[in-house]
């Protein structure tokens, strides 16, 4: 866990009840404190005297602490009433104008209200306190409301003072500094400006107005403003007017917070400051942390425009990497320190509560670099799933911002919605088309699932983007919010259903997961030899023939390959690839199966071998025909798939976890079937349930030896995993897995010949004599050249040519299967056969398990064969998802192969 902390050197003035110093150290009482454009200047001495007089207008604390409603306007009257409330020891319920505060006041009726009367600003509403208020509670603030659901944040005196002191230290504020109320004082960022400047004996110019106004900048220049607090939208406005390109003699610092600024804009603004004599400080905070959490030193801004800096004094933070949204080293930002709020108030009774939090879970996702700087990369709540594809809205926004646009991205299961500011000199249609392409490509959902409205973004009074408002603007501009309608509208300009969505949706169903990450491989997301059949058929149907080693490539790369093929094929072929989602009664999009448009399809050879072998095995056992060797061929296929999936991780731990997942997938249905057979027919014993009948059980033919293939498969998997765990072997496997597997296969021929030299019959179905088949399959999985494939095939011929000395046809059958696996990566089959072959291959284990119990009660060979296959397919369908959940209890290995090394 990475933890960073701010240097603990808080300003000594952080004591008392309000940020107004009792004796400003080194500051004359005549020094200005509040500068009003229409009422003159109030010195620190005068401010102290005025606040003291106002305290006397409030009920004494001994009669009960009161809840004082302070509509905190940017004028001397409101500010002094606010400071007096804190000095008197009462609780300030800070809001903006009364209209917006009506809902809050209805829920939290105040005892006292600040009114516009200089002589007596406090209106007593009730003679006795209406609420029980905790002694530490000082300020109630609404959250910024960017999510549309504001709550009251409970802040203590210590929260307010310590955070003001930490900000002053981080920004190097002194008594010579003067701020201007560029932000509402009811907003925690704006209020922190007042607190931090008064705390060090500085001053604040009180004025309303926008940074776009000429008289605002006249005030900055003529009133000697040294620090300017801004949010990203204000920087956009200043950039559009060019005001920052002009000199402002007294300005020394622009402090930006209130949301993320695109790195390019951060860099431009920092360079403008360097050219005109002022610095840019980038900050990060939340109302729940009183105001500021981190500050990026101006000296570091230009080199780290994507960072928000280090924690302020007294604050520590760490990343929780256990939350489900994490990726690439990110985690949820968790904050500790004196600024962490007491907790939320969601009911009047909550005002009596003390501090409920020792740390603040911000809901933001971030990374901490080796330099100790925090980078905020998104929000936990900023993820949506569109038809199975998990999308980070912040990533989409950043991609749009990188194109020079200002946007707000929202979304839900139906698709993405983007509100984007109009571009000067560009039509709304042109902007919408560009944004749709960027959002579709970045998210992976394609333009078909993106709705765009070119409108001025909805904003809150503090300048932050109002996400709910922006979402409503996009919805209001859509002719129909139904996903199918959006796809049809997008399709009218040439769009087709996106491959990424189809891949994500299909694989999520195959793997039994909620969402698919296209940046990760099939194996990294839990794919194994038991699920790869459906996955490979699905992907071949959507993307065309899969490259060798596709299971270790990020899925996004496979999607790109499929898209390139579709683009090269032309519109006619793309149109044949599938229809757009159609309207349903529930107004939801559905993705129909993609018609292939041809009579033939390709299947991976391993898939076809599994399907054919299990039919051959079942039919032979039923005496419908006699074709032996299917089970031994499947051992080679099992080794091939185990090396590709369960044993493909580059770490020892990862290989054991992969092997464990495979063993669970094999053992759970096996134990269930064996237990059923043991209880109902006395067909199996405890050794079968332990998957060790070949070692400790009765191994006579026809009695409890029917599941020899399962015993051998599990034992071979464990032996190979253990072999690859030996340090020298593990290092060699990382360098060249084929060489290791081929060597193991060759060495495995020794017990094959030694054991069979001394015995016959059942010994041809135990692990020591058949392990070479499993190892040959593993070697073929990594045989990346024809020479290596032929060499591996030669090992198979040595082991298999005389394996069954009295059955040459059986030997040839096994070797032909291995040769197909070695020399034919995929096979063309009639398209109509693909669904049947897919189910047979996926259910091959379950058909093998259940066949004996069905064959034993159905006398007719044909009916018995069909019945056994149908029962196995049904068993697979019923158990696939529960078994997958059990497998998921063993986490997958996420370390990737990269040119033979890990990454």
Terminal alpha carbon distance of the chain: 20
Residue that has been written with the tokens 């007596």 in this structure: 120
Q: How far apart are CA 574 and CA 437, in angstroms?
A: 18
The 10 Å CB-count burial string (b at 16+, else e) for 817-852 is: bbbbbbeeebeebebeebeebbbbbbbbbbbbbbbb
Residues 617 and 754 in one domain: yes
Residues 503 and 450 in one domain: no
Instruction: Please report whether residue 147 resides in a domain.
Output: no
Residues 536 and 633 in one domain: no
Residues 576 and 478 in one domain: no
Q: How far apart are CA 220 and CA 576, in angstroms?
A: 65
391's CB contacts (< 8 A; 6+ apart) are 383, 384, 385, 411, 416, 443, 444, 445
Residues 755 and 794 in one domain: yes
How distant, in Å, are the alpha carbons of 58, 131, 266, 325 from that of 126?
12, 11, 50, 49
Residues 504 and 486 in one domain: no
Q: How far apart are CA 629 and CA 361, in angstroms?
A: 60
Q: How far apart are CA 847 and CA 611, in angstroms?
A: 10
Q: How far apart are CA 866 and CA 647, in angstroms?
A: 34
Instruction: Please report whether residue 376 resides in a domain.
Output: no
Q: Can you give the pLDDT at residue 32? A: 94
Q: Can you give the pLDDT at residue 319? A: 93
Q: How many domains does the chain have?
A: 3
Residues 753 and 862 in one domain: yes
Q: How far apart are CA 341 and CA 354, in angstroms?
A: 10
By CB atoms closer than 10 A (0-12, 13-18, 19+), residue 303 is: exposed
Kindly report whether the global pTM for this prediction surpasses the value 0.85. Answer: no
Residues 713 and 570 in one domain: no
Q: How far apart are CA 595 and CA 542, in angstroms?
A: 9
CATH number, domain with residue 471: 3.30.300
Q: Can you give the pLDDT at residue 888? A: 81
- CB count within 10 Å of CB 16 equals 14
CATH number, domain with residue 521: 1.10.1200
Q: Are 391 and 383 in contact (CB under 8 A)?
A: yes
Instruction: Please report whether residue 297 resides in a domain.
Output: no
By CB atoms closer than 10 A (0-12, 13-18, 19+), residue 521 is: buried
Question: Residue 63 in 3-state DSSP?
Answer: helix
Last residue of a domain, one of 474, 491, 508: 491
Question: Residue 714 in 3-state DSSP?
Answer: helix
User: Residue 329: left (phi > 0), alpha (psi -120 to 50), or beta?
Assistant: left
Last residue of a domain, one of 465, 491, 517: 491
Residues 791 and 752 in one domain: yes
Instruction: Please report whether residue 182 resides in a domain.
Output: no
Length of the chain in terms of residues written = 903
Residue that has been written with the tokens 């106004």 in this structure: 213
Residues 591 and 611 in one domain: no
By CB atoms closer than 10 A (0-12, 13-18, 19+), residue 628 is: middle
763's CB contacts (< 8 A; 6+ apart) are 755, 756, 769
Instruction: Please report whether residue 726 resides in a domain.
Output: yes
Residues 612 and 561 in one domain: no
Domain holding 421, by residue range, is 387-491
How distant, in Å, are the alpha carbons of 111, 114, 399 from that of 67?
5, 11, 46
Residue that has been written with the tokens 């004591």 in this structure: 15
Q: Are 504 and 443 in contact (CB under 8 A)?
A: no
Q: Are 144 and 460 in contact (CB under 8 A)?
A: yes
Residues 655 and 762 in one domain: yes
Last residue of a domain, one of 491, 517, 534: 491
> At residue 379, what are phi and psi to the nearest 5 degrees?
-125, 145
Instruction: Please report whether residue 437 resides in a domain.
Output: yes
Q: How far apart are CA 407 and CA 259, in angstroms?
A: 13
Q: How far apart are CA 110 and CA 669, in angstroms?
A: 66
User: Comparing C-alpha atoms, which of 533, 534, 539 is closest to residue 518?
Assistant: 539
Residue that has been written with the tokens 């509402």 in this structure: 184
Q: Can you give the pLDDT at residue 753? A: 92
Q: How far apart are CA 21 and CA 19, in angstroms?
A: 6
User: Comparing C-alpha atoms, which of 421, 417, 423, 422 is closest to residue 407?
Assistant: 421
Instruction: Please report whether residue 153 resides in a domain.
Output: no
Instruction: Please report whether residue 484 resides in a domain.
Output: yes
- Residue spans of the chain under pLDDT 50: 10-14, 23-24, 145-149, 479-497, 571-597, 700-702, 896-903
How distant, in Å, are the alpha carbons of 52, 184, 234, 825, 840 from that of 603?
85, 65, 58, 9, 13
Q: Can you give the pLDDT at residue 577? A: 39
Q: How far apart are CA 699 and CA 703, in angstroms?
A: 7
């Amino acid at each position: 866990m990475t933890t960073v902390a701010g240097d603990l050197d808080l300003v000594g003035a952080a004591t008392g009840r309000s940020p107004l110093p009792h004796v400003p150290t080194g500051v004359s009482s005549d020094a200005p404190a509040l500068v009003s454009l229409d009422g003159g200047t109030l010195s620190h001495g005068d401010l102290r005297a005025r606040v003291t007089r106002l305290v006397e207008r409030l009920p004494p604390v001994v009669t009960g602490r009161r809840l004082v409603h302070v509509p905190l306007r940017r004028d001397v009257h409101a500010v002094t009433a606010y400071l007096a409330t804190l000095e008197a020891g009462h609780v300030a319920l800070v809001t903006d104008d009364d209209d917006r505060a009506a809902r809050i006041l209805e829920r939290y009726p105040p005892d006292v209200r600040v009114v516009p009367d200089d002589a007596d600003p406090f209106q007593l509403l009730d003679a006795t306190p209406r609420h029980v208020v905790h002694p530490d509670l000082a300020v109630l603030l609404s959250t910024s409301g960017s999510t549309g659901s504001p709550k009251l944040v409970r802040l203590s005196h210590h929260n307010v003072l310590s955070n003001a002191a930490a900000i002053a230290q981080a920004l190097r504020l002194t008594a010579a500094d003067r701020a201007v109320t560029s932000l509402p004082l009811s907003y925690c960022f704006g209020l922190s400006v007042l607190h931090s400047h008064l705390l060090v004996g500085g001053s604040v110019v009180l004025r309303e107005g926008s940074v776009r106004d000429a008289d605002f900048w006249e005030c900055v220049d003529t009133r000697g403003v040294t620090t300017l607090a801004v949010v990203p939208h204000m920087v956009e406005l200043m950039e559009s007017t060019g005001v920052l390109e002009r000199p402002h003699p007294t300005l020394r610092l622009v402090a930006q917070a209130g949301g993320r600024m695109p790195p390019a804009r951060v860099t431009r603004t920092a360079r403008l400051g360097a050219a005109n004599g002022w610095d840019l400080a980038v900050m990060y905070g939340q109302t729940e942390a009183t105001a500021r959490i981190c500050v990026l030193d101006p000296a570091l801004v230009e080199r780290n425009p994507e960072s928000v800096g280090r924690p302020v004094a007294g604050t520590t933070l760490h990343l929780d990497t256990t939350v489900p949204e994490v990726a690439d080293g990110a985690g949820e930002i968790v904050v500790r320190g004196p600024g962490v709020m007491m907790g939320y108030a969601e009911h009047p009774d909550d005002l009596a509560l003390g501090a409920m939090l020792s740390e603040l879970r911000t809901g933001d996702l971030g990374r901490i670099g080796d330099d100790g700087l925090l980078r905020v990369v998104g929000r936990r709540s900023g993820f949506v799933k569109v038809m199975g594809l998990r999308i980070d809205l912040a990533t989409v926004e950043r991609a749009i911002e990188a194109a020079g646009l200002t946007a707000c991205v929202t979304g839900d299961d139906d698709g993405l919605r983007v509100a984007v500011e109009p571009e000067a000199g560009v039509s709304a249609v042109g902007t919408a088309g560009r944004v749709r392409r960027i959002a579709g490509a970045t998210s992976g959902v394609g333009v078909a699932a993106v709705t765009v409205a070119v409108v001025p973004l909805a904003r809150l009074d503090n300048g932050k983007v109002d996400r709910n408002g922006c979402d409503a603007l996009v919805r209001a501009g859509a002719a129909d919010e139904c996903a199918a309608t959006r796809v049809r509208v997008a399709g009218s300009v040439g769009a087709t259903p996106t491959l990424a969505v189809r891949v994500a949706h299909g694989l999520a169903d195959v793997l039994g997961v909620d969402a698919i990450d296209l940046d990760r491989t099939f194996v990294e997301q839990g794919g194994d030899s038991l699920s790869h059949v459906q996955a490979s058929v699905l992907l071949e149907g959507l993307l065309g023939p899969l490259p060798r080693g596709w299971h270790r490539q990020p899925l996004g790369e496979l999607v790109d390959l499929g898209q390139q093929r579709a683009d090269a094929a032309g519109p006619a072929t793309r149109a044949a690839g599938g229809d757009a989602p159609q309207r349903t009664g529930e107004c939801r999009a559905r993705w129909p199966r993609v018609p292939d448009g041809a009579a033939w399809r390709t299947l991976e050879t391993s898939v076809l071998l599994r399907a054919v072998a299990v039919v051959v095995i079942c039919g032979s056992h039923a005496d419908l025909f006699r074709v032996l060797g299917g089970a031994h061929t499947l051992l080679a296929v099992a080794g091939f798939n185990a090396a590709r999936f369960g044993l493909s991780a580059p770490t020892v731990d990862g290989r054991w976890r992969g092997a464990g997942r495979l063993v669970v997938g094999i053992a759970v249905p096996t134990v269930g079937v064996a237990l059923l057979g043991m209880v109902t027919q006395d067909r199996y014993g405890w050794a079968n349930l332990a998957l060790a009948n070949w070692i400790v059980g009765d191994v006579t033919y026809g009695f409890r030896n029917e599941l020899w293939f399962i015993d051998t498969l599990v034992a071979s998997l464990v032996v190979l995993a253990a072999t690859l765990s030996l340090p020298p072997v593990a290092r060699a496997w990382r360098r060249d897995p084929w060489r290791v597997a081929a060597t193991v296969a060759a060495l495995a021929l020794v017990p094959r010949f030694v054991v069979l030299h001394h015995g016959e019959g059942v010994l041809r179905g135990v692990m020591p004599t058949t392990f070479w088949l499993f190892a040959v399959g593993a070697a073929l999985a990594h045989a990346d050249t024809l020479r290596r494939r032929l060499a591996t095939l030669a090992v198979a011929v040595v082991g298999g040519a005389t394996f069954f000395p009295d059955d040459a046809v059986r030997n040839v059958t096994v070797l032909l299967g291995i040769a197909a696996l070695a020399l034919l990566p995929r096979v063309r089959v009639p398209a109509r056969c693909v669904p049947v072959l897919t189910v047979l291959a996926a259910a091959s284990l379950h058909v093998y398990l259940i066949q004996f119990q069905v064959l034993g009660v159905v006398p007719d060979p044909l009916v018995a064969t069909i019945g056994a296959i149908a029962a196995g397919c049904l068993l697979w369908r019923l158990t696939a998802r529960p078994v997958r959940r059990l497998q998921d209890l063993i986490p997958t290995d996420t370390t990737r192969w990269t040119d033979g090394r890990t990454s």
